[in-house]
A = this chain, B = another copy of it.
Amino acid sequence: MKARVSVRLKPAILDPQGKAVLNSLQQLGYDEVTSVRIGKLIELELDSHDSGDMEQRLEELSRRLLTNPLMETFDIELEDDDRTGDH
């Protein structure tokens, strides 16, 4: 089983890295870009097939280790290996 944890800065938190990328994009002529926010994409492989149980554990480990709950939010997507199409 695979899990994908998307971690984003909370909207109120400044993102200097995103701002720098936005400035560079505008200098390169990509004026249609009005905002850039940079988060983390954490992909886990899991030796488990009980998705109900895993969802709870993933939420727990995301809060304990993968994210900073004061500054970040996250969401979790679970997928069975059988349904995985991309490599």
Contacts and interface: CB of A to CB of B under 8 A. Distances in A.
Interface string A26-42: 00101111111111111
Contacts of A54: 32
Contacts of A87: 11
Number of copies of this chain that the complex holds: 2
A57 to B, nearest CB: 7
A36 B65 CA distance: 12
Given A21-B66, A28-B64, A41 B41 contact: yes
Interface residues of A, number: 37
A46 to B, nearest CB: 5
Given A21-B66, A24-B65, A25-B61, A45 B41 contact: no
B43 A40 contact: no
